[in-house]
Structure 1
Amino acid sequence: MRPATAEKLRANAATIHQLGHRYGLHSFALSAEPGELVATLDQGRSYFDVTGFETDLSSILGAAVEVVPRGPGVDVEETEPLGNLRGAA
């Protein structure tokens, strides 16, 4: 499966935010890497939540999506915040 494009991620921002809420992910931003999102992971959540989100969103979009949770020691370039005012998949 090919990585999701930035355009596809932007166009599906509402879906990303809704699904993220279920998995304890929020404050999404696009990364410099194709198909990669940066997000904040709620306390008490785990990488199982991150991988569940990635799997579900990749299935919905028909393109691979990876999430990099913000945190200590994480160095990833965020290119733009992902607003949630756009359409759904």
Structure 2
Amino acid sequence: MKAATAATLHANAATIRQLGRQYGLHSFTLSGEPGELVASLDEGRTYFDVTAFEADASGLLGATVEVVPRGPGVDVQEREALGGMRGAA
């Protein structure tokens, strides 16, 4: 499966945000890598939540979606807010 394009991610921003809430992910931005999102992860959530979100989002979009959670020691380039809504849940 190919990586989701920025256009696909933007076009499905509302769906991604809604799905993200189920797994404790929010404040999505696009990274510099194809199909990769950067997101904040709610306290008490784990990488199991991240990988479950990735699987569900990839299945819904028919393209690979990966998430890099923000946090200490994470150095990833954030290009732009998903759907043009910086900080949107």
Question: 1:41 matched to which residue of 2?
Answer: 41
In structure 2, relative to structure 1, the CA distance for the partners of 1:19 and 1:84 (3 Å cut) is farther
Structure 2 vs 1, CA of residues 84 and 20 (structure 1 numbering), >3 Å: closer, same or farther?
farther
- Structure 1 outlier segments of 4+, above 4 Å: none
Paired residues in the alignment total: 85
Q: Normalized against structure 2, the TM-score is what?
A: 0.93
Per-residue CA deviations over 1:36-70 (Å, capped at 9, x if unaligned) read 00000000000000000000000000000000000
Give the partner amino acid of 1:52.
A
TM-score (norm 1): 0.93
Question: Does the Cα contact within 8 Å between 1:29 and 1:79 map onto a contact in 2?
Answer: yes
What 5-or-longer segments of structure 2 have no aligned partner? none
Runs of 5+ in structure 1 lacking a partner?
A: none
Match of 2:67 in 1: 67
Q: Matched residues in 2 for 1:83 and 1:46: separation?
A: 25
Identical positions, percent: 72
Distance (Å, rounded) in 2 between the aligned partners of 1:52 and 1:28: 16
Equivalent residue, structure 1, for 2:13: 13
The equivalent of 2:58 in structure 1 is 58
